[in-house]
Amino acid sequence: MMGRMSRNPAWNGLADWDGQLPASVELPDGIDLTVRELHPSDEPALRAWFSTLSTRSRYQRFHGHVAELSPAHWRYLTRIDGIHHVAVIAFRDGAVAGIARMIRLEQHRSAEIAFLIDDDLQRKGIGSLLRDVLFVLAKSRAYRTLFAYVLPDNVAIRKLLAGTNTADRGNVLELVL
* Confidence at 163, pLDDT banded by 50, 70, 90: confident
Summarised one tens digit per residue, pLDDT across range 48-81 is: 999 999 999 988 888 888 888 899 999 999 999 9
Nearest of 64, 76, 68, 63 to residue 103 by alpha carbon: 76
Summarised one tens digit per residue, pLDDT across range 104-127 is: 998 779 999 999 999 999 999 999
110-117/145-149 β-pairing? parallel
Contact 48, 69 (CB under 8 A): no
The domains found in the chain, sorted by start residue, are 3-147 (3.40.630.30)
* Confidence at 170, pLDDT banded by 50, 70, 90: confident
Q: Mapped to the 3 state alphabet, what secondary structure does 117-170 carry?
A: ECHHHCCCCHHHHHHHHHHHHHHHCCCCEEEEECCCCCHHHHHHHCCCCEEECC
At 7 the three-state DSSP class reads coil
**pTM metric for this prediction:** 0.87
